[in-house]
Amino acid sequence: MKKEKYNVAILGATGVVGREMIQILEERKFPVGELRLFATEKSAGEEITFQGKKIKVRVVDDHAFEGVDLVMGDTPTAVSKDLIPKAVKQGAVAVDCSSAFRMDPDVPLVVPEVNPGAIGRHKGIIAGANCSAIPIAVAVKPIHDKFGIKRLVISTYQSASGAGKGGTDELAEQTLALFAQKDPVMKVFPYRLAFNVIPQIDAFLPGGDTKEEVKIIEELRKMIEAPNMGVTVTAVRVPVFVGHSAAVNIETEKKATAAEVRELLKTVPNVVVKDDLSKKEYPLPIDAAGKDEVYIGRIREDVSTPNGLNLWVAADNLRKGAALNAIQIAEILIQKYL
């Protein structure tokens, strides 16, 4: 017999993604019985309002997950690796937005518009994908299903909020400092982000790619179930507060015209095709901020190769790139599997 209400725990509740989760749970009227909010000692005692009631943020203890049905969160990898198995052991199903379990072969890596059936294969943990990989997967999966994809060449343009609240605070502080003719302070990013772009997200690996770039490559292959698909990524941090964008070059197995792809993408749930060049209409991160949909435009054929396509993708990295994606997974869980 299905439950009417589910007890939910949020890890990292005071972070930018955690707060989005709480807001989206209320917006989508998720059937929450008890909501437990957890964060670090620094945030313990803070109160967050949910459904008109103030809930106190706590630190995880040995009994934190007793009676909890669902655990969701976006915490540092080491924290997730420590806490998520404990939650599962105490009977919860976990939807984790960190990178801790994404490439574990026993853990489904899920975007509901891409591979919802993978949810049913969970063994207690379901991983949400990288905040740039999610909207790109939404855009390219239907193209792969119909035409086949041989290779993807991707450049991501990722906002400051991808580095958390510290990232947005640093961008704001640097901007104000420069207008005041003061020296900007760098703590979160390796260089000044205000009025600049930084072609590095995360640490460099021996081959020259960053960890972020490799994450996107590996996660796209896993979600699309194309382990041999050629993928290369350059990830760039840009001075935008919220909203990640990506330029995606696609080489297909079968010839696909821009018109065919445009019409195909219009049929994908939670996708907005914004692609009217006569009106200069194409996706902007400012359009996507605060929205649930993935925006796609600049759909055109790549004349440099017979089966080439280009498109541009934008999405809110805190919502569809993390919090909303997790809650969509949770909604499928309670409808079909819990």
63 tagged catalytic: no
* 246 and 279 in a common domain: yes
Out of 97, 122, 144, 244, pick the active-site residue: 244
* 295 and 256 in a common domain: yes
4: pLDDT strictly greater than 70: yes
* 148 and 281 in a common domain: yes
CA distance 192 to 205: 22
Q: Is 322 helix (H, G, I), strand (E, B) or coil?
A: helix
285: pLDDT strictly greater than 70: yes
- Asked if the structure places residue 181 within a domain, the reply is no
pLDDT in tens, 253-276: 999 999 999 999 999 999 999 999
For residue 71, give its domain range. 6-129+322-337
* 289 and 204 in a common domain: yes
- Asked if the structure places residue 185 within a domain, the reply is no
pLDDT of residue 338: 85
The dihedral built from the CA positions of residue 141, 114, 98 and 158, taken in this order, carries a sign that is positive
Query: What values do phi and psi take at 315, rounded to 5?
Result: -160, 155
Out of 97, 122, 131, 144, pick the active-site residue: 131
- Asked if the structure places residue 168 within a domain, the reply is no
Q: Read out DSSP for 220-268?
A: HHHHHT-TT-EEEEEEEE-S-SS-EEEEEEEEESS---HHHHHHHHTTS
- Asked if the structure places residue 172 within a domain, the reply is no
Amino acid identity at 275: D
CA distance 113 to 294: 10
* 292 and 143 in a common domain: yes
Exposure of 94 in the CB half-sphere (CA atoms within 13 A)? 29
Closest CA to 182 of 197, 192, 190: 192
* 331 and 285 in a common domain: no
Q: End-to-end CA distance of the chain, in Å?
A: 9
* 123 and 139 in a common domain: no
Exposure of 265 in the CB half-sphere (CA atoms within 13 A)? 32
Q: How confident is the model at residue 2 (pLDDT cuts 50, 70, 90)?
A: confident
Mean pLDDT of all residues in 116-132: 97
- Asked if the structure places residue 182 within a domain, the reply is no
Amino acid identity at 37: L
**Dihedral Cα 119, 223, 208, 77, nearest 10 deg:** -10
Q: Is 155 helix (H, G, I), strand (E, B) or coil?
A: strand
CA 238 from centroid of its chain's CA atoms = 17
Q: Are strands 125-128 and 109-110 parallel, antiparallel or unpaired?
A: parallel
CA distance 101 to 129: 10
* 239 and 152 in a common domain: yes
CA distance 211 to 325: 22
* 326 and 310 in a common domain: no
pLDDT in tens, 170-227: 999 999 999 999 999 999 999 999 999 999 999 999 999 999 999 999 999 999 999 9
Does an H or E element contain 151, and which? Answer: strand 149-158
Q: Are 201 and 235 in contact (CB under 8 A)?
A: yes
CATH code of the domain containing 103: 3.40.50.720
Q: Is 86 helix (H, G, I), strand (E, B) or coil?
A: helix
* 296 and 149 in a common domain: yes
Q: For all residues of the chain together, what is the average pLDDT?
A: 97
pLDDT in tens, 91-104: 999 999 999 999 99
- Asked if the structure places residue 166 within a domain, the reply is no
Mean pLDDT of all residues in 57-61: 96
Mean pLDDT of all residues in 287-301: 97
Mean pLDDT of all residues in 284-308: 97
Q: What's the token pair of residue 188? A: 């979160």
CA distance 250 to 160: 27
Q: How confident is the model at residue 1 (pLDDT cuts 50, 70, 90)?
A: low
pTM of structure: 0.96
- Asked if the structure places residue 331 within a domain, the reply is yes
Q: Read out DSSP for 176-217?
A: HHHHTT-PPP-SSSSS--TT--BS--SPBPTTS-BHHHHHHH
CATH code of the domain containing 150: 3.30.360.10
Structural domains of the chain, count: 2
* 214 and 69 in a common domain: no
244 tagged catalytic: yes
- Asked if the structure places residue 90 within a domain, the reply is yes
Q: How confident is the model at residue 78 (pLDDT cuts 50, 70, 90)?
A: very high
Closest CA to 317 of 103, 17, 10, 8: 17
163: pLDDT strictly greater than 70: yes
| Length of the chain counted residue by residue | 338
* 247 and 284 in a common domain: yes
